[in-house]
Amino acid sequence: MSNEKYDLIIVGAGIIGLAHAYQAQLKGLKTLIIEKEQMAIGASVRNFGMVWPIGQPQGYLYDRAMKSREIWIDLSTKANFWASESGSIHLAYAKDEWDILHEYHTNWGQNTQLLTPNEILKLSPHVNPTDLIGGLFSTTEVNVNAKQAIHSIATYLKQQPNLDIHYGEQVQKIEYPLVHTTDATYLADRILVCSGSDFMTLYPEIFKQSPLIKSKLQMLRSKAQPASFALGPMLCGGLTLRHYASFESCSGLKAYKQRISEESPWFDEWGIHVMASSNEFNEIVIGDSHEYGFSFDPFNKQQINDYILDYLQGFLLLPHREILDTWYGVYAKNPGGTEFVHEVEDKVTIVTGFGGAGMTFSFGFAHEFMSDW
């Protein structure tokens, strides 16, 4: 048995685990993060790197996203990683898309502005102007390079007093207050299991009885665009209106979803909506799709990538269309909820199931969850 005793042990060094470790560090808690891989390789590094308040309904979820935004910006300076407060534009090429954006802005929009086509092109000159009606600009969205940011945050946390990260060490069993791993046994006052859907290896019965499902997403990254190219704000096509809870109260959404289902059923079949962001290397990150289940084909489907790229061309004209990388990620999702929090026993808690909003919610959630520790 290790002689080390910790105030908090966190299982998993993805964004959820790191967010709680950051709060622990602020509170002066002696903390250990245990990660089975040699580095974070899961959903936390296989995403757009978008912090997306515009996608959240007004109220506590929007406030949570904005708190996350605040922490991301602060940490980008502390941990020295690239972050762009670029905002976002939802683009409308059909009247029903424009009507939804107009209704959202009028009734619920915070930090938003309706734009004409000329105003859009001033912010993002490579938007396709053909049939463009207008767009909704939001100032709140932040873009990071997920892989770089996760690595930089972990490095920053390791440099803080009272915080250790053990990579390449797998938790085999938790018997509070003991955490047994492949290397040692540790003592902890509190234990958080933040290992995504992988928590099923520790608690298979809890996973089986939970509402959680898994989602597989496909994404792509273009080669670097010319130095003269600037994407500007992150961009979304109309399909994104079907994806985020913030637009669910719009009166025209039901009819819009029906139109898309009838005209382009493959978008529903593969859960496709299309967004684009730019990283610090001027590469364009593009996605994504959503397949739901518990086990997935380990290979990407080229047809899904083709659907995404064809739709992208309708709203973004890239000088370089060559694709540098494609990949998929898998995350845990709680249908009908925004997270899955389960107390296994007193002071042992599973925190997962943020779906595709881990980057948007994790820091804000951790701030709330640990507020009275």
Q: Contact, 30 vs 6, CB < 8 A?
A: yes
Give one DSSP letter per residue of 193-232, joined into a string: E--GGGGGGT-HHHHHHSS-EEEEEEEEEEPPPPTT----
Q: Contact, 277 vs 50, CB < 8 A?
A: yes
The whole-number pLDDT of residue 44 equals: 93
Q: Contact, 71 vs 152, CB < 8 A?
A: no
Q: How many residues does the chain have?
A: 373
Dihedral sign for Cα 129, 321, 239, 141, please: negative
Q: Contact, 219 vs 312, CB < 8 A?
A: no
The whole-number pLDDT of residue 151 equals: 97
pTM: 0.96
Closest CA to 143 of 57, 54, 225, 20: 54
Q: Catalogue all structural domains in the chain, each as residue range(s) with its CATH number.
A: 1-87+141-211+334-373 (3.50.50.60), 98-139+213-330 (3.30.9.10)
The whole-number pLDDT of residue 109 equals: 84
**pLDDT per residue rounded down to tens, the chain (373 residues):** 666 899 999 999 999 999 999 999 999 999 999 999 999 999 999 999 999 999 999 999 999 999 999 999 999 999 999 999 999 999 999 999 999 999 999 998 889 999 999 999 999 999 999 999 999 999 999 999 999 999 999 999 999 999 999 999 999 999 999 999 999 999 999 999 999 888 889 999 999 999 999 999 999 999 999 999 999 999 999 999 999 999 999 999 999 999 999 999 999 999 999 999 999 999 999 999 999 999 999 999 999 999 999 999 999 999 999 999 999 999 999 998 999 999 999 999 999 999 999 999 999 999 999 999 9
Closest CA to 135 of 46, 54, 21, 59: 54
Residue 4 burial (10 A CB sphere; 0-12, 13-18, 19+): middle
- In three-state secondary structure terms, 52 is coil
